[in-house]
Structure 1
Amino acid sequence: MQKKGMELEGLVKSGDVVLAGVSGGADSVCLLLMLLEYRKHCDFLLEAVHVEHGIRGEASRRDAAFVKRLCEKRGVCCRIYPVDVPAYAKGHGLGVEEAARKLRYECFREAAEDYDGRPVKIALAHHADDNAETMLFRLIRGSGIHGLYGMRPARRLAEGVTVIRPLLGMERAEIEAYLKAQGQPYCRDATNEDTDYSRNRIRHKVMPELKAVNTGAVHHMMQSAQMLMELSDYLEEETRRATERVCRDTPDACVIDAVLFSEYPALLIREVLLVTLQKVAGSNRDIGSVHVEELCTLYTRQVGRVICLPYGVRAERVYEGIRLYREEPAVDMERESIEVTGEMLSRAEKEEVVLALPDGRLHLRIRDFSGNMQEIPKKTYTKWFDYGKIKSGLRLRRRESGDYLMIDAAGHTKKLKEYFVNEKIPAAKRDAIWLLATGSEILWVAGGRIGAGCKVGENTEKILEVRLSGGNDCEDQEN
């Protein structure tokens, strides 16, 4: 055990704050004892963190009490965080395992915040068997080289905060043997036996079969994990160099030079495409080999071809190679919509009503009309309407399915989409245009025409003046 404990060297240094995740199970109890032993030779602050997941009811509370007693006996400060994993999982559309993991890390981050300015190490009790299970789990899910080695002994979580796994070189049987020799009891989590969980199914049904084939299965997998980690690091560095050479950033895109496809091996091509796509998308999640293959195929297509990728990313075949850019997200119809209420209109008869928009302001004013048609403003973003013809449900919003314009006094209509096409308004800009509407009838396309249904005429008594200001497309820009 002393030899195994030496793996703490390099992971924990004098002056560190070590927050040990202690569930009460064999692995975490062993970790706590190892850290206490190592503290005799290295001056660091040690605290225990226990997350009570709210999954097993009274059994969970008993585990928390066990950890508290253990820490009190050993003179270690213990933080207990009660959370509700089932509720969190349901509210965020996650599986229980993923929800528990997210909440655990939130608790660790919260604990680490108390030591801002000092190096914080979050010590977790993952061991060799855990890592073998992780390798298998990722393999069957289609992980690439960077995931096949499983877990690293140390990884950066945040500025000044590092996750460490001192037990990664030990197998489960060694941990249990050590605790038995020490006469140290520990808790047993019944959910670890539930094979409805994917990891438990691998642990109880797959791993025993592999060990039956070769008793050294876990040890050999850890040897492979080390080689895969070294290979991953080497590939990452080569990818960085290639990316610096073939990728060029512009203000609104990233261009991948065709030299990538002509001078580099297929493995490196895919890596460069993957990291570049993730960079443009701003996320690694849900981006994988299928999207990389689409980019490879795009390179063989004619110039001008465009494909759609996750997170609104578009890839265009250009003369230089491939251009990656993010298309502006579709407008949030609910957020960018303002109801013009009866109360607002009543106020508008006495004073100008000004309403804030995400990109400017909406001005409303009602007044008497003299009957002189020459007074009607010709400005693009100021329009008059016959207030007597205005129906209820007046809204300023973006376009919706079924929108139409009344094009003449006889009541003939035209679909809004047809109007956009006739006016040659680019499809990419249509969702950003403000519309004054009552139901599906469009009274005004901001910057364009007004409908015939509420036009001011010689018999109009009161007019509703509507003006847009403050945005890119508004009255302010006409001067």
Structure 2
Amino acid sequence: MRHGDIHTSRSTISINKSSVKHLVIEAVAAQARALSCSETVAIAFSGGIDSTVLLHAAIRVLGTRRCVAFHVNHGMSPHAHAWRSHCANIANQLNITFDSRTVSIAHVPQKSVEALARDERYAALEKMCSVHHVRVLWFGHHADDQAETVLLQLLRGAGLPGLSAMPLHRLLPNGLLRVRPLLSVHQASLDAYARQCMLHWIDDESNGDMRYARNVVRRHVMPILAVHFPGYRETLARTTRHAATGQRLLEDLVTIDFRACIFSSQSADVVTLVSTGPTLSRRALMELSYERAINLLRFWIRKSELAMTSTARINEILRQLRESGNDAVLRIKHDTHYLRLYRNKIWWERESSGSASYNVIRPSAELRWSGQPSWRLTAWQGSIFFVPCSSEDKQGVQRSVLELAPLTVRKRHGAERMRLRTGGPRRTLKNLFQEAAIPAWHRDVPLLFIGNTLLWVPRLGVDPNVAGCGHVKIEWHQDNN
């Protein structure tokens, strides 16, 4: 740890020292006015100059009782433990609550160390907020950070979400509100504030490492822009606002398109049971323009909580869907799932949801039922459950029927028949599966017999002529589904 020096390369903006404190304090006060009188605010406190200024200004505006400081130790620097001690000492001197977490950065292919560290930092901060019952988390990002982010996103070819950069406010699903009070304040103003208030902060040696793209932009690109385009920060900030507006309009449109493409029948069929998220209609998706279909696929991937993929990959997915007929069967691997197409339905299905496996050895199993709630079938990687139900349930089985003879589970061979309605004709399972629109790769299921009489088939139901309308319902639960 060392006291930071102001690096002239970080800014060339002239500062009116008499207005610096007012500028910073007013930016913080503007966000404080949106809080309730007793709301506690957590400061993401790395110990660097930006978070140090934010912490100091927040205490001046809110007081020590309403501020807590949270520190995340990434362990990526040999000085990491000294930085943690520095932050704890500052918090102790200011008489505010301090907490910290140590995280480890695991290598993930095709993801930068910076991105991994950011994700771990946010996760650790959210956990500390939860522990301390804090609903508002402030970060020290400023106008120069925002400009750097936009430039980097432009160089990476990002779309509107990337160009929207860092929002002033972001409400997370868990109710935590992320705020960046200093987003309109230049780095030079924070430097001047820190010097005037004689603050002490940490210089992270990684800020000078030119292996990181952000440092290259900060040290070599932004100083030149400042000379030739003095107002570039404000111009880029305006770009982020336009991009954010455009993105919100796209999200409104994709919400309309998504609702229109949801498959109209969402009964508890096999597709609904194994899919991740709603099932879509391929026909409705194909009626959209190319751009709207791509937008919808991106939205659907995010909504299904799958990893985002490249533009080329999404284009390939759409191409295969367009070239497949409504009766085609399609399987496209992505992340831990498959995109499936069957009878005009498309859905995301987990890899573990099963596939056609008729060549797998499935030994028969036998059970003398006397009220057991479940029957584990290891060879089938699942369990049969016997659940109490009302006499009005058409899938109910009489206890006396279950106790009449040994229950036997067998593999499907292809000649089995059953009736799905009282007095109806006995029909092959193949025809019944086809009528129920059950994909072929989900038809390898355990068949339940009473003696030599077929009683129940998962995903089809019971034979009411055998079951007798009783008070026990049979359910099949495959592992990891």
User: What's the TM-score bracket when you normalise by the shorter of the two chains?
Assistant: 0.5 to 0.7
2:93 matched residue in structure 1? 73
1:102 paired to 2:90: no
Contact (CA 8 Å) 2:42, 2:67: kept in 1 or not? yes
Please state whether the residue corresponding to 1:63 is helix, strand or coil: helix
Which amino acid letter does the alignment assign opposite residue 29 of structure 1? Answer: T
1:30 paired to 2:53: yes
How far apart in 1 are the matches of 2:157 and 2:458?
Answer: 46
Contact (CA 8 Å) 2:68, 2:98: kept in 1 or not? yes
Residue deviations 1:94-144 (CA, integer Å, cap 9, x gap): 65323322332232222222344xx61111111122222222333333422
Residue deviations 1:443-464 (CA, integer Å, cap 9, x gap): xxx999xxxxxxxxxxxxxxxx
TM superposition shift of 1:267? 4.3
Shift in alpha-carbon separation, 1:56–1:278, aligned structure 2, 3 A: closer
Worse-superposed segment, 297-306 or 165-174: 297-306
1:195 matched residue in structure 2? 210
How far apart in 1 are the matches of 2:311 and 2:108?
Answer: 30
Worse-superposed segment, 6-15 or 214-223: 6-15
2:185 matched residue in structure 1? 170
1:254 paired to 2:280: yes
Worse-superposed segment, 20-29 or 190-199: 190-199
Contact (CA 8 Å) 1:85, 1:96: kept in 2 or not? no
Shift in alpha-carbon separation, 1:259–1:447, aligned structure 2, 3 A: closer
How far apart in 2 are the matches of 1:294 and 1:67?
Answer: 49
How far apart in 2 are the matches of 1:64 and 1:359?
Answer: 49
Please state whether the residue corresponding to 1:232 is helix, strand or coil: helix
Which amino acid letter does the alignment assign opposite residue 60 of structure 2? Answer: E
Contact (CA 8 Å) 2:301, 2:308: kept in 1 or not? no
Shift in alpha-carbon separation, 1:111–1:249, aligned structure 2, 3 A: farther
1:7 matched residue in structure 2? 27
Contact (CA 8 Å) 2:340, 2:349: kept in 1 or not? yes
TM superposition shift of 1:60? 1.6
How far apart in 1 are the matches of 2:343 and 2:318?
Answer: 11
Please state whether the residue corresponding to 1:312 is helix, strand or coil: strand
2:308 matched residue in structure 1? 286
Residue deviations 1:282-313 (CA, integer Å, cap 9, x gap): 12522453354345544466443455442212
How far apart in 1 are the matches of 2:85 and 2:448?
Answer: 68
Residue deviations 1:392-429 (CA, integer Å, cap 9, x gap): xxxxxx9xxxxxxxxxxxxxxxxxxxxxxxxx998614
1:314 paired to 2:340: yes
Matches within 5 A, 1:232-311: 232-251=247-266, 252=272, 253-255=279-281, 258=284, 261=287, 267-279=291-303, 282-294=304-316, 296-297=318-319, 298-299=321-322, 302-305=325-328, 307-309=330-332, 310=334, 311=337
1:53 matched residue in structure 2? 74
Work out which of the residue numbers 112, 115, 123 in structure 1 matches 2:129: 112
Work out which of the residue numbers 74, 80, 85 in structure 1 matches 2:104: 85
- Give the alignment's TM-score, normalised by structure 1: 0.63
Residue deviations 1:47-85 (CA, integer Å, cap 9, x gap): 00111222223x22222222122222222221122x242
Shift in alpha-carbon separation, 1:246–1:204, aligned structure 2, 3 A: same
How far apart in 2 are the matches of 1:228 and 1:168?
Answer: 16
Whose RCO is larger (CA < 8 A, sep 6+)? 2
Residue deviations 1:158-213 (CA, integer Å, cap 9, x gap): 43311111111122222112211222221100012122234333333443444454
Please state whether the residue corresponding to 1:136 is helix, strand or coil: helix
How far apart in 1 are the matches of 2:100 and 2:311?
Answer: 41
Contact (CA 8 Å) 1:211, 1:217: kept in 2 or not? yes
TM superposition shift of 1:260? 7.3
Work out which of the residue numbers 143, 148, 161 in structure 1 matches 2:163: 148
How far apart in 1 are the matches of 2:131 and 2:407?
Answer: 57
Please state whether the residue corresponding to 1:200 is helix, strand or coil: helix
Cα RMSD (Å)? 4.6
| Gap runs ≥5 in structure 1 | 341-353, 362-378, 384-397, 399-423, 435-445, 449-468
- Give the alignment's TM-score, normalised by structure 2: 0.63
How far apart in 1 are the matches of 2:193 and 2:100?
Answer: 26
How far apart in 1 are the matches of 2:140 and 2:226?
Answer: 22
Shift in alpha-carbon separation, 1:220–1:208, aligned structure 2, 3 A: same
TM superposition shift of 1:218? 2.4
TM superposition shift of 1:18? 0.8
How far apart in 2 are the matches of 1:232 and 1:331?
Answer: 34
1:219 paired to 2:234: yes
TM superposition shift of 1:25? 0.6
